[in-house]
Amino acid sequence: MMFRKREKKEIPGLNTAALPDLIFTVLFFFMIVTHMRSVPMKVKYQVPAGTEITKLVKKSTVTYIYIGKVGDDYRIQLNDELATPAEVETYVKEELARMLPEDARNQTVSIRADRSAPMHLITEVKQALRRAKAYRINYSATGTVKTDNN
């Protein structure tokens, strides 16, 4: 009996031609679904829970004011800078000047305050908003969103 050496069968190579397409598809997916925060948070705040919550329709007309804790003190954050209540009026007027005229009519100021922020600080911010003629104020909260079924 004669033994023959078996020929080794080579395993075919992995086709990687579609790999770049797959990588770019996954990259685009994450770019689309990921929300990037534009303002770095310097204040810590816990959003209070609400019962009568409605969703904002056009977020490009919203100006955000954050009130939260920095160390042991409560502070106001406008964009990425800490501010005093006196600076709120100037900030809101500058934001209003940057908007298109049709958006400026619908400007909403959203106050995102910590649930245990002192009320006198929120009152000072509201007084500054009155002086800036920003009368449409929104308080951010968490909870179930109410929808109109009219």
Q: For residue range 29-56, what is the model confidence (pLDDT) as tens digits? A: 888 887 766 777 777 777 777 676 667 6
Report how far residue 54's alpha carbon sits from residue 68's, in angstroms, rounded to the nearest whole number.
23
CA-CA distance, 48 to 141, in Å (whole number)? Answer: 5
What integer is the mean pLDDT of 109-138? 90
Distance in angstroms (rounded) separating the CA atoms of residues 123 and 127? 6
What is the average per-residue pLDDT within 57-62? 75
Q: What integer pLDDT is reported at residue 146 of this predicted model?
A: 56
Residue 31, φ and ψ in degrees, nearest 5? -65, -35
